[in-house]
Structure 1
């Protein structure tokens, strides 16, 4: 099991994003998330992190991914990524300052715009796949590219 997760909440045509106030990736828009606590499954940790950082209760994810990469020395590391669908009314709530940074509902087109340099490095590579199909996915990150592994983790 990997140590971290990142979670995205989708409300109609918007996704809740966090502009981080501290490292890592300070000043960059990304999903919410963090470290797992002892004894948590990846799903339990993601649900807890979403609630802690947003105050929004989620339960079943729409799609999920594992992204892996090789660390120096060849050891594997990775990250769990979740996409939750929430009530479409939530996407109209104003931005909010939290201890982690600024939360705001961003339009998917804004996030995916190639001219947008403020989005976390891998997001624009894997988010379209998570949005497209309700499923579990497996990706590998290598040399700046996130590649979906053929066959993924199967469907839900």
Structure 2
């Protein structure tokens, strides 16, 4: 079991991103999420984290896979990834400052650009498949000397 969750909240062609105030990923755009509390399921965690960080009440977020990372050949951790689709009419004005950082709607295309260094580096490798609705899969991210050196998509996860 991993310790973290992350959610990408999509509305039309945009995704709600958080520019984090704190490490890890300080100053980078990322989804919203956080650490799983003792006795909490990953789904319960992401529902709670989305409400705490955005004020949005979500039900039944879509589980889209897992992402784990290793630094210099040592497994460090991982997260459960969820996507929530909002109706285009849903009003959520941004930018808005929250305790964790700055929330703002960003074009999905911009988030996934290969030369966009303002977004957490591994997102462009796993999020496109997840947005296509592919079977939940496991992604392994490899970091060497502090930089992302590769991402490997594993077989779809068993339900």
TM-score class, shorter? 0.7 to 0.9
Aligned to 2:146: none
**Hey, what's the Cα distance between the residues in 1 that align with 2:125 and 2:73?**
25
Aligned to 1:131: 131
**Hey, what's the Cα distance between the residues in 2 that align with 1:68 and 1:93?**
32
The 3-state SS of whatever aligns with 2:64 is: strand
Compute the RMSD of aligned alpha carbons.
2.0
From the superposition, tell whether residues 26 and 74 of structure 1 become closer, same or farther in structure 2 (CA, over 3 Å): closer
From the superposition, tell whether residues 111 and 72 of structure 1 become closer, same or farther in structure 2 (CA, over 3 Å): closer
Larger strand share, 1 or 2? 2
Q: Size of the alignment, in residue pairs?
A: 154
From the superposition, tell whether residues 123 and 75 of structure 1 become closer, same or farther in structure 2 (CA, over 3 Å): closer
Map Cα deviations across residues 85-137 of structure 1 (whole Å, 9 max, x no partner).
11213376221111111000101111112232100011111110110115322
User: Is the CA contact (8 Å cut-off) linking 2:71 and 2:142 kept in structure 1?
Assistant: no
